[in-house]
Chains A and B, each alone.
Chain A
Amino acid sequence: MSINQTDLRKAKILSLVVLLCMSVASGLVYAGKIGLWDSLKDDGLHDRRNKKGLKVLQEPGEALSKLPRGVSGNKVDWVMALQKGFIEPRTHIYEGTEIRVIDLDIIMGETSTMNYVMFPHKAHTEWLDCKNCHPIFFEPKVGVTPVNMGAILEGEFCGRCHGAVSFPLTDCNRCHSIIQGTFTGTFGAQYPPGTQYEDYSLE
């Protein structure tokens, strides 16, 4: 096998041209960005002609680049951002609104061959109130609600938020987080020692 010099030169020139094109292209794409995030005028939603409005609106990159990086969605780990104090969103507007945060993990074992699901109430109630999910999407009792992936993909149960505004359903292992065989306890609510169901009732 032999390679003649002309071919080699062609290959060299080609590679240089490709590199040059890539640099120009990435330069162009990066031009309107801050960090990973497209500028509002390039997001496909905002009207570029609305110069007055676009001037006021905050650019996503300006805010999101300072928060803990996530792997999907808008590339921010929002639970960590809240828990580590990167953001301090308000919990209420009206005086007297009760702020309810509970720490209770639910482990769901009917997951076929997938890892078991661990649902942390803490991460959820720091953002949401009990009544956002109970009883409209989930009965406040373990094992009663027929949660299944089909319905979740259709936007019901967890799919109300996951896949729309919170991390997407392609991040399987963030919910299916307990490897089968490593869990020897009882499925359902993992009450901390000394507490019981009544301590968590919604009344």
Chain B
Amino acid sequence: MNKNIIKLLLSSIFIIFSLSVIPVSANAEYGDVIINKYSDSAGMRPVIYPHWFHRIRFRCKVCHGELGFEMKAGANDVTMAEIIDGKFCGMCHNGEIAWSTEHCDICHSGKPGLKAGIKGAHQTLGPGIW
């Protein structure tokens, strides 16, 4: 009988162990900004702006200082015309520092209909404006 209990215990440990194999996922998209003020209505996919990608290459102060981006999702009114003119994203996305504006699909890569805003801040669990 004792042997059986040990076997049962072992099976339970086995089950618990197998449950612990559930993979942990990290949110690379933490800080991604969905830019969709004009995209959807113009028949384009929304833009997904990844902070993680740009941060490896530029400090915050470059875009949020030199390029004039406000530090709040939705506070920037950026049009393609301005970008093509070399303002905002267009400072780098000009074919010299980064790909030019002809490559629409690389920036306009979001699922159609995504709500504009910043991703990942749900982690704070606060009331939050994000």
Residues of A within 8 A of B (CB): 1-3, 5, 8, 11-12, 14-15, 18-19, 22-23, 25-26, 29-30, 33, 35-38, 40, 43-47, 50, 52-54, 56-58, 60-61, 63-64, 72-76, 78, 87, 89-94, 97, 126-129, 131-132, 153-155, 160-161, 163-166, 168-170
Contacts and interface: CB of A to CB of B under 8 A. Distances in A.
A154 B106 contact: no
Contacts of B129: 154-155
Given A46-B110, A74-B52, A165-B118, 16 more contacts: A1-B1, A11-B8, A15-B15, A15-B18, A33-B25, A46-B109, A47-B112, A53-B106, A73-B27, A73-B30, A73-B31, A91-B61, A132-B71, A154-B126, A169-B124, A169-B126
A166 B30 CA distance: 9
Given A74-B120, A160-B71, A47 B110 contact: yes
Contacts of B50: 60
11 contacts: A5-B4, A37-B26, A37-B28, A45-B119, A47-B45, A47-B112, A74-B31, A93-B92, A163-B130, A164-B73, A165-B31
A36 B30 contact: no
Interface residues of B, number: 71
A170 B123 contact: yes
B11 A12 contact: yes
A73 B123 contact: yes
B108 interface: yes
B66 interface: yes
Contact of A75 (B7, B26, B32, B60): B26
Interface of B: 1, 4-5, 7-8, 11-12, 14-15, 17-19, 21-32, 34, 45, 48, 50-53, 55-62, 64-67, 71-73, 91-92, 99, 103, 105-112, 114, 118-121, 123-130
